[in-house]
Every structure is written in structure tokens, then in C-alpha cells.
Amino acid sequence: MSDEQESGAPAGTVASQWAEFDASGQPRAAGGRGPRRTARAGEGPVADELLEPGEETFEQETSEGDQELDSADVTDPVELLIERGAVLRLPEDSAVDPTLDPELDASSFGAGETMIINLGPQHPSTHGVLRVMLELEGETVLRSKPVVGYLHTGMEKTAEELTYVQGATNVTRMDYLSPLNNELCWSLAVEKLLGVEVPPRATWARMLLSELNRISSHVMWAATNGMDLASTTMMIFGFREREMVLSFFEKTTGLRMNHNFIRPGGIAADLPDGWEDDVSVIVDTISQRLDEYDELLTGQPIFRERTEGVGVIGPELAVAMSATGPILRASGVPWDLRRSMPYLAYGEVDFDVIVGSVGDTFDRYAVRLNEVRESIRIVRQVLERMPAGDYRVQDKKITPPPRARIDESMEALIHHFKLFTRGFEPPVGEVYSAIESPRGELGCYLVSDGTNKPYRMHWRGPSFVNLQSVPALLHGSLLADTIAILSSVDPVLGEVDR
């Protein structure tokens, strides 16, 4: 490091500081590092006693002059108003309520009482590369704005260049904590476009995988939420349980994440021999371990103190902000697409929709934890009722022939080749298909122009939409609670940015 500094610095002033620092191995006393306080116009020079003899300041090396950010009390109030009014803007419901929003009076900005800090994008508690701009007054958060886009790779544009067969590999990478749900949403949209119906075994196997994925996603959330609230034990617990589910996924699909297993027309392969035993062990173990979670966190006074009454959102505001999933349900709205607009065979299984009553961080925790229990209930029913039969439609335009057939049949070889090079061509039309992912409504809007690639693919990511609620949740809370609230929203930034 000192080498780079030496080569870069012109006259050895900066470099000599670094050399001294490195040689002694100790930080220099009396403000030896970092930019020094500089003279503002009219204040006179910096007091010489702060500097050691022969030492020069950083500022003399620059040609730009004073690099310090002026504090709020010397900034033009109008400029400050425009900046704050434009950048940190609360949703309408909060902004019009004078009890929630500070006076947008320019004179109130002169006192230097508020400051804006950035939480993230490299903060571990933002669960990815999320940046939240926070306007603080003391320790109270006034306004905030989530800034996203750091992971944007244009996956919707990419989808227009991939065939419908390849599309599942694209979407599975978006919400990397529930890849099977992404594939399910994609497959249902393509099948709706094609007008095909998958066999019952494929439907129930999809339901099994989707629910197991919901379990793994929620215990992963419990783990990171525990870590955000300084319970590292919870972190270990959550990852331990998730690992069981991922091992089963690896056995079934060959991969721990990004499976590309649920495909248009069914699933890629039948469930492995003995899957019933594996799944039984998983659900039995996790349902016991959930009681451990309860023991560790649910009744714990410190945890409750940090979550109860923190980050409250009511049902009207949650609906107005288009929030879905555990955020909406925790506020008391019994909206779960598995129940309200059943897909797969959710209409035939028995489960409860978990709702909260207050809409605070604790409710969101409780909703997710109990949803794991409901998922276990569904998985147990799937174990009992899994139908026999084919695991994909026998339409050789949509699903590939069995591998063995390719060696025997010229026709099978052609079908295989055509499917994986050109794919299939759904009829012209547009379709919106939505499922309940662990984070809320996961929607896929597809426009087909009759070719083998979607003309337009739009992904309605629940994390992206749910992030809009963050300013409303954070408003008026303490900075220390920001971490707990952000964690309770459970955004997956891969899906936010796509």
C-alpha cells in the first residue's frame, strides 16, 4: 500500500506519513491520519500547533481547494429543501399527514439538526447491495429512500434473447433464496400461454418442491434476522435447517441452487427413489427445531423488546403500497394467493393462512415462523397423497424424450434436437401468471408474438415492490431499529434489481 502511495504522491509529503505509519506499526497520534480540518474562508488558518513541524496537510496537494461538505446551516435553505424534498420523499399517505412528516418549511432546515446518512450498500444487514438513505434527527429516522439497481444485469432483456426452454435458467437466478418458486412461476406462465395441463404427479411434485423451498427460505430469513438482532445462535440454527433442505434439493435436482428443475411441461426428472423418507426426516426434524426457535427467540424478552411495536404498517397502507406476502398478512389482511387464487393443487390441501394483528416486526417474524409450520402441514399431505403417473406432459414439442429413446429412435433424436435448439412456439398472446413466493406475489407477464422467444417478459418481483414500504416502516423509528425493520421486510436484492 505504501508503495502505491509513494509512486502516486508527487513530493513525498503524503507518502512520508504512510511510511512513518507503517514503520512504527501504530497509528499516529494527534490526528495523523485522514484529512485535516481546513480553514474555511474568513476563519483564519488552521492552528499551527495541531501540525507537527515540517508536516504539510493533504489539502495543499489538491487543486480543488476546500473539499469539505458544508454543513446544513450554511447551505442555501432552498437548495436544501429541493434536495431533501426530491430525494427523501415519503409515500403520499405519510407525507400529507402533518403528524408524521416534519414541516417542509425552509426555515426549519437551517438549524443543522438533521443529517443524511447512507446505510449500505455494503452493510451486512442490508442483505445484499441495498442502500438506504436515511434522514436523521438525532437518532430518529425522519425520511428515507431505498436506492437499488446495484445488481441490475438486464435479465428481462436477456429473457427476450432466450427461448422459452432456456428461460427457466434465467429466472431461477433472480430470487436466489427461492429458485424453485421462480421456475414455477415461469413454467405456469408459459403453460398458460401454451394452454397445456401438466399431469397430477408433476403438479404435486411442484407443490412439494415449492413448499420445501418456502421452508428453506423462511428459515434462512430467520437465521439472518437473528443475526441482525445479535443472535448468532439463531444464525447457526437457521443455516443448519436450510442445509437439510438444500441437500434434498441437490439429491433431487443435482444442484443446491438455480436448479432449472421445474420446467414448462412438468419437472425435469422424477423424484429420486426414497424421497418420501428424506422428506419425512426433513419435516420431522424441522418441526421439532421450530420449537427450539420459539424457545430461543419468541419468548425472549430482549427479542420481543426489539421487535414489538417496531416498524408498524396498517392494512390500508400496506394494500395501498402494493405490499404482499408476510408484510401484508402481518398487518391483518388474509391475502395468500395459495388460498385466494389457488394454483397447482392448493385448493385440495388443508392449510391455514397466517395473519398478524399489529403489523409490526414481531408479527412479521411470527407470520413467517408459522408459515413454516403450515408448509410442513402441506408437505405431509403431499407425502400421503402423491399420485403415481407421469411427471411431465408427453408432448414431444414441449418436453424432451427420455434419454434412452434417443439412441433407438430417429424421431426422438429430432425432437430432442429441435427442442433444445429451437424450442417451441406458443400462440400469439399475452398472459399474467402469479404465485405466492415466500416474499409475496411473484408474477410473470409474458407477451408472445408466435416465435420461439418471448417478445417481452416482465417479472413482478415481490421484493422490488415490497421495498416501497420501507420508508413508511422506518418513519419515526430509531436508527437502531432500522436494522430490525429492514430485516423483517426480507428483500432479496437479486430479485429487486434483476
Q: Which stretch binds other proteins (CB under 8 A): 43-51, 180-188, 404-412, 424-432?
A: 424-432
Task: At 430, list the grid cell.
Answer: 399475452
Lateral strand order in the sheet of 114-119: 114-119, 131-137, 140-147
Comparing CB distances to other proteins, the nearer of 417 and 455 is: 455
- Under the binding rule (CB under 8 A), the answer on residue 441 touching other proteins is yes
Q: Which stretch binds other proteins (CB under 8 A): 149-157, 240-248, 278-286, 485-493?
A: 149-157
Comparing CB distances to other proteins, the nearer of 127 and 498 is: 498
Q: How far, in Å, CA of 196 to CA of 263, rounded?
A: 13
- Under the binding rule (CB under 8 A), the answer on residue 148 touching other proteins is yes
Q: Given candidates 18, 239, 275, 445, which one binds other proteins under the rule CB under 8 A?
A: 445
Q: How far, in Å, CA of 135 to CA of 81, rounded?
A: 13
Residue 253: Cβ within 10 Å count: 23
- Under the binding rule (CB under 8 A), the answer on residue 131 touching other proteins is no
- Under the binding rule (CB under 8 A), the answer on residue 97 touching other proteins is no
CB 495 within 8 A of CB 175: yes
- Under the binding rule (CB under 8 A), the answer on residue 347 touching other proteins is no
- Under the binding rule (CB under 8 A), the answer on residue 470 touching other proteins is no
CB 372 within 8 A of CB 290: yes
Nearest to 444 by CA among 159, 234, 37: 159
- Under the binding rule (CB under 8 A), the answer on residue 492 touching other proteins is no
- Under the binding rule (CB under 8 A), the answer on residue 118 touching other proteins is no
First and final CA of the chain: distance in angstroms?
36
Q: How far, in Å, CA of 199 to CA of 430, rounded?
A: 24
Beta-bridged to residue 434, according to DSSP, are: 443
- Under the binding rule (CB under 8 A), the answer on residue 93 touching other proteins is yes
Comparing CB distances to other proteins, the nearer of 351 and 464 is: 464
Comparing CB distances to other proteins, the nearer of 28 and 152 is: 152
Nearest to 80 by CA among 99, 107, 40, 118: 107
Comparing CB distances to other proteins, the nearer of 72 and 447 is: 447
Q: Given candidates 34, 42, 44, 195, which one binds other proteins under the rule CB under 8 A?
A: 195
- Under the binding rule (CB under 8 A), the answer on residue 116 touching other proteins is no
**Structural Rg of the chain based on CA atoms:** 28
Comparing CB distances to other proteins, the nearer of 157 and 385 is: 157
Three-state secondary-structure class, residue 426 = coil
Residues 266 to 325 in contact with other proteins, rule: CB under 8 A: 319-324
Residue 340 makes CB contacts below 8 A (sequence gap 6+) with none
Q: Which stretch binds other proteins (CB under 8 A): 37-45, 166-174, 409-417, 442-450?
A: 442-450
Residue 150 makes CB contacts below 8 A (sequence gap 6+) with 121, 129, 130, 131, 493, 497
Q: Which chain residues interact with other proteins by CB under 8 A? A: 86, 89, 91-93, 148-149, 152, 154, 156-157, 161, 192-193, 195, 319-324, 333, 335, 340-341, 428-432, 434, 441, 443, 445, 447, 449, 455-456, 458, 460, 464-465, 467-468, 497-498
